[in-house]
Structure 1
Amino acid sequence: MENLFCKNTGKALTALCVMAVTLFTGCGYNENTQAKTNSNTATEDHLKDEEDVITNDERSTENMLKLFINDEEMQVIWEENESVEALKNLAEDKPIIIDMSMYGDFEQVGSIGQSIPRNDKQMTTSAGDIVLYSGNQLVVFYGSNSWAYTKLGHIENTSAEEMKKRLGSGDVNVTISITE
C-alpha cells in the first residue's frame, strides 16, 4: 500500500511540476510578447512623433503667412483654423494689402476685401492679438477689448508698449503674404 501511495504521489508531483513549468513559461512568454509589443508600439509612436516634427518644421518654412505692418515684418504665431487657411488661399495669388484705421484707442481695423469662414468666440484680447471681425475685417490690437472674434494669431516678441507705439499714433498698412 505504501508503495502504491509513493507511486501515485510521484506521479502527482511530476504532473504538478509539469503544470507549474508550463504555467510559468507560458506567462513569461506572454509577458515577453506583451513587453515586445509595447516596445514596438512605443518605437512606432516615437517614429511617428519624429515624422510629425519634420512635417511641422517643413510647414514652418513652406507656405506660411507673413504679416507686415508698414513694411516691417512681424513674428506671428498663427492659429490652425479655417480662417487662417482661407487667408493663406487669398494670399497665394498676390499679397493682401489692408488699409487699417485706428478704432477705440486699442485696435487697428481694416477690410480684407471679402468674407472668409469664421468661428467667433467671446474673448478678451490683448496687445498683439490678430483677429477676424464680422468675417471680413482684420483687427490688430495694441490694447485690450472683449468681444466675439475669430482668433487668427498673435504677434510675438513685441511688448504692449511697442505695439501701442507702432499702431497707436495713426493709420497703418498691413500686408499679408506667403513665404515661397
Structure 2
Amino acid sequence: MRRAIILACSLLLMFSSTACGEDGNEPESASVPAQEESETMQMKVQAGDATFFAALEENTAAKAFLELMKDAPVVLRMSDYSGFEKVGSLGISLPENDSQTTAESGDIVLYNGNQIVIFYGTNSWSYTRLGKIDDLTGWTEALGTGDVTVTFSVN
C-alpha cells in the first residue's frame, strides 16, 4: 500500500510539472539590444570671431533652447559678472530644473529661467544645466574681459 501511495504521488508530481512547461509553439522573443546612448544634441556657440561647439544636456530647458535656436540663432549681449562668468538676458523664460551645482569653465546654464550664463571660471549656485563646450581651447580669450556678443545656433 505504501508503494502505491509513493507511486501515485510521483506520477502526480511528474504530470503536474510537465503541464506547466513550454509547448514549443510560442515564438522566442528576439533580444533587441538597448540603445546605449541617444544621439547627443549639439549647438554652435560663437563668441566674437571664435566658434565653439557644445553638447546639450538632456532636459526640458535644453530642448526648449534648441527649439528656440531652430527658429533663428539666439544672439545675446553678455556682460562679465564677478570675473568667472558672462550673463545675458534671453528675453523669454525657459523651463527650469534648478539644482545646486558647481559650474566650471565651458558650462552653459540657465539662471532664473531667463538668463543664459556661460562660465570661464568656477561658481557654485542653483542652475539648470544647458550644455558644455566640447573643446575649451581659446575659450577664455574669446570671451575677453568686458561685454561680448555671443551667438547660439543649431549645429
Matched-pair contact (CA < 8 Å) for 1:107–1:167? no
Partner Cα distance (2:133, 2:143) in 1: 13
Per-residue deviation at 1:170?
A: 3.7
Asked whether 1:171 is paired with 2:147, we answer: yes
1:113 alignment partner, one of 61, 84, 91: 91
- Please name the residue that 1:134 is paired with: 112
> For residues 121 and 13 of structure 1, do their structure 2 counterparts lie closer, same or farther at Cα, with a shift above 3 Å needed?
closer
Q: 169-178 vs 99-108, which deviates more?
A: 169-178
The alignment's TM-score, normalised by the length of structure 2, stands at 0.75
Give the secondary-structure state (helix, strand or coil) at the position aligned to 1:169: coil
Q: Distance in 2 between matches of 1:11 and 1:146?
A: 79
Query: 1:171: how far off?
Result: 3.0
Match of 1:3 in 2: none
The match for 2:8 is: 15
- Find the partner of 2:101 among 123, 138, 161: 123
Mean Cα displacement is larger for which, 93-102 or 82-91?
82-91
**Normalization by structure 1: what TM-score?**
0.66
Judged with a 3 Å threshold, the aligned counterparts in structure 2 of structure 1 residues 74 and 172 are, in CA distance, closer, same or farther, namely same
1:5 corresponds to which residue? none
**Which is richer in strand?**
2
Q: 1:104 to 1:13 in 2, by over 3 A?
A: closer
CA distance in 2, matches of 1:13, 1:125: 74
Q: Which residue of 2 aligns with 1:152?
A: 130
1:88-142 C-alpha deviation (Å, 9 max, x unpaired): 2322221111112222110111122322222333222111111112222111001
Match for residue 62 of structure 2? Answer: 84
SS of equivalent residue, structure 1 residue 75: strand
* 1:67 and 2:50 aligned: no
Counterpart-to-counterpart distance in 2, 1:14 and 1:136? 80
Larger Rg, first or second structure (1 or 2):
1
Aligned length: 154
Out of 70-79 and 142-151, give the one that drifted further.
70-79
Aligned CA RMSD, in angstroms, stands at 3.3
Identical-residue share of aligned pairs (%): 37
Moved over 6 A (4+): none
Distance of aligned partners of 1:18 and 1:118 in 2 relative to their CA distance in 1, 3 Å threshold: closer
Whose helix proportion is higher, 1 or 2? 1
